[in-house]
């Protein structure tokens, strides 16, 4: 039996937790899920029991601890190679890693202006230039990937990959704040929302205390 424990934050708002959770689900991994509610008086102390960085998510595998979303996804990809969490083609794999890293390290304005809140539905209203530029960049990434790989399947590189896991929280944000989309980016958001794992996550988020 694989001894995997994933420590995550509240499903309604913890975008970083969603990413490796999706990777594990796609891999068909058996894992224990430990949810720590965020924004509580004891949240910091509870997270510190599991995470050397004081943040979630954290993957525990025996004595190993991995406490970064993208690092966890890479670890899962190595553990479960048959899940093909990166594209098989070297060029496509490099592209997928590039856009995953871009999401991992960027888009600060969009994160601040449009925080993940799966239960919420509220038009974003007027956005500042920095946030709009980052939204436009995400849309451009999605359009490029879907144009290149639309014949293979409905995900960014045809089949589901870590790149999709990294952009999944953005897809929820665009639904939450009713960001205007059309064509391939709009279809991609619907594809992500229709995933069984995303629906499972959203159903759990709906049951969390407000």
Print pLDDT tens along the chain (210 aa): 469 999 999 999 999 999 999 999 999 999 999 999 998 999 999 999 999 999 999 999 999 999 999 999 999 999 999 999 999 999 999 999 999 999 999 999 999 999 999 999 999 999 999 999 999 999 999 999 999 999 999 999 999 999 999 999 999 999 999 999 999 999 999 999 999 999 999 999 999 987
- Reading phi first (left if > 0) and then psi (alpha if -120 to 50, else beta), residue 125 is in left
Last residue of a domain, one of 52, 83, 114: 83
On whether residue 205 sits in a domain, the answer given is: no
Last residue of a domain, one of 64, 83, 102: 83
Same domain for 58 and 130?
A: no
* Whole-Å CA distances, 127 to 88, 112, 123: 38, 11, 11
On whether residue 115 sits in a domain, the answer given is: yes
Same domain for 97 and 164?
A: yes
Angle at which helices 183-194 and 129-149 cross, to 10° = 80
Between vectors from CA 204 to CA 199 and to CA 209, what angle results, nearest 5°? 145
Are 61 and 72 in contact by the 8 Å Cβ rule? The answer is no
pLDDT of residue 1: 47
Same domain for 144 and 173?
A: yes
Q: How many domains does the chain have?
A: 2
Phi, psi at residue 107, to the nearest 5°?
65, 40
Same domain for 40 and 124?
A: no
Same domain for 147 and 107?
A: yes
On whether residue 101 sits in a domain, the answer given is: yes
Same domain for 73 and 116?
A: no
pLDDT of residue 110: 98
* Whole-Å CA distances, 36 to 46, 56, 81, 115, 127: 7, 9, 29, 18, 32
Same domain for 60 and 25?
A: yes
Tell me how far apart the alpha carbons of residues 25 and 102 are, in angstroms, rounded to a whole number: 23
Same domain for 94 and 175?
A: yes
Same domain for 113 and 154?
A: yes
Helix (H, G, I), strand (E, B) or coil at 39: coil
On whether residue 152 sits in a domain, the answer given is: yes
Same domain for 108 and 157?
A: yes
Closest CA to 168 of 51, 50, 44, 24: 24
pLDDT of residue 210: 74
Q: In which order are the strands placed within the sheet that holds 58-61?
A: 32-36, 4-9, 58-61, 64-66
On whether residue 203 sits in a domain, the answer given is: no
Are 142 and 77 in contact by the 8 Å Cβ rule? The answer is no
Domain hosting 60: range is: 4-83
Same domain for 116 and 186?
A: yes
On whether residue 172 sits in a domain, the answer given is: yes
Last residue of a domain, one of 29, 64, 83: 83
């Amino acid at each position: 039996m694989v001894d995997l424990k994933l420590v995550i934050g509240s499903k309604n708002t913890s975008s970083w937790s969603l990413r490796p959770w999706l990777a594990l689900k796609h891999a068909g991994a058996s894992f224990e899920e430990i949810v720590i509610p965020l924004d509580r008086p004891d949240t910091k102390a509870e997270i510190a029991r599991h995470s050397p960085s004081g943040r979630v998510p954290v993957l525990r595998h025996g004595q190993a601890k991995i406490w970064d979303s993208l690092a966890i996804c890479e670890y899962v990809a190595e553990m479960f190679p048959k899940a093909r969490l990166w594209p098989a083609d070297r060029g496509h794999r490099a592209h997928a890693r590039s856009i995953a890293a871009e999401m991992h390290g960027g888009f600060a304005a969009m994160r601040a202006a449009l925080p993940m809140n799966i239960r919420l539905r509220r038009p974003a209203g007027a956005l500042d230039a920095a946030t709009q530029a980052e939204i436009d960049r995400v849309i451009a990434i999605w359009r490029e990937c879907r144009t290149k790989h639309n014949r293979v399947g409905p995900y960014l590189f045809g089949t589901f990959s870590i790149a999709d896991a990294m952009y999944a929280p953005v897809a929820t944000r665009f639904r939450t704040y009713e960001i205007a989309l059309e064509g391939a980016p709009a279809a991609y958001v619907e594809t992500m929302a229709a995933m069984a794992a995303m629906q499972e996550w959203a159903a759990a988020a709906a049951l969390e205390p407000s």
